[in-house]
Each structure stands twice: as structure tokens, then as C-alpha cells.
């Protein structure tokens, strides 16, 4: 993906170039340092779109992190992300409810999840999620 291409997360209301949006958390000085749970969730969605499994693993909390993050199945196409709610419980805990759409083998799929995030030592991590 070119840095000037629109970011896969399509941050509302104005889509931004990848380098100015999720790309800055994937590589460079701000790598792995999303400022809040919603930015981390968006950057994780973009990482799924781009196949950045190392980033997904590195942003997963150690207590729930899988040993290996499987790449998407061949032919899976991510179609879009809608953040429904970002709720902050306290300075170090938040949830993000979202719907991610994808298509595989001509069939459309929706992932509707409420994800939990925790901040440790100033860094946000994905903890787990509950599908709706």
C-alpha cells in the first residue's frame, strides 16, 4: 500500500491517507503506540486488511495472545469498517463496538464485536472480544 492511498479503516468523517492514519502505528516512531482504544482497533482492522500478522500479535495483550496469528484465508476481501461505539471505562480500560464486513468465495460476512482494550505502561492492547 502506498502511503498516499486511503487508509483501509476509512476514519469518519474524512478518510485519510494510510501514512497519516493507521500507517503511523504500523511502522515508524509511533509504531505500536495508538493513542486510544479506538485508534488501536482501527489500526488492527487495517492490519488485517494488509496482512500484518506480526502487528496483530504485538498489539494483543499477553494474557490472551495466541502463539500464532493465522493469515486470512486466500481470497478474503475486507470491505469496510463501522465503529458503532467507543466507551472509556477509566484511564486504562475501554471497549469498542464495531462491524467489519468481508467477502470470501462470493459470500458476504459481517463481524459484529465488542472488543475490550487495556492500557499498560502507556500502551494500548487488544484483550478480547464478544461477538454480537
The pLDDT value given to residue 13: 64
* Listed residue (28, 20, 25) closest to 2, CA to CA: 20
d(CA 127, CA 115): 7
Query: Which tens digits make up the pLDDT trace of 61-98?
Result: 999 999 999 999 999 999 999 999 999 999 999 999 99
What is the domain partition of the chain in residue ranges?
A: 18-131
The pLDDT value given to residue 12: 61
Count of other CB atoms within 10 angstroms of residue 98: 22
The grid coordinates of residue 71 equal 493469515
d(CA 125, CA 60): 5
The pLDDT value given to residue 67: 93
The pTM assigned to this predicted structure is 0.94
The pLDDT value given to residue 120: 97
The grid coordinates of residue 64 equal 490472551
The pLDDT value given to residue 30: 85
Which residues of the chain carry a pLDDT beneath 50? none
The pLDDT value given to residue 113: 98
Q: 487488544: which residue's cell?
A: 126
Q: What is the CATH number of domain 18-131?
A: 3.10.450.50
CB 60 within 8 A of CB 66: yes
Amino acid at each position: 500500500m502506498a502511503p498516499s492511498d486511503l487508509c483501509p479503516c476509512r476514519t469518519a468523517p474524512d478518510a485519510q491517507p494510510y501514512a497519516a492514519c493507521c500507517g503511523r502505528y504500523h511502522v515508524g516512531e509511533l509504531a505500536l503506540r495508538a493513542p486510544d482504544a479506538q485508534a488501536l482497533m482501527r489500526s488492527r482492522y487495517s492490519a488485517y486488511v494488509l496482512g500484518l500478522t506480526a502487528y496483530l500479535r504485538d498489539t494483543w495483550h499477553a494474557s490472551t495472545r495466541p502463539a500464532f496469528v493465522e493469515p486470512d484465508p486466500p481470497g478474503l476481501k475486507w470491505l469496510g469498517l463501522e465503529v458503532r461505539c467507543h466507551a472509556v471505562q477509566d484511564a486504562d480500560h475501554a471497549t469498542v463496538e464495531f462491524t467489519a464486513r468481508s467477502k470470501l468465495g462470493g459470500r458476504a460476512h459481517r463481524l459484529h464485536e465488542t472488543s475490550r482494550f487495556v492500557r499498560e505502561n502507556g500502551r494500548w492492547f487488544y484483550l478480547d472480544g464478544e461477538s454480537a
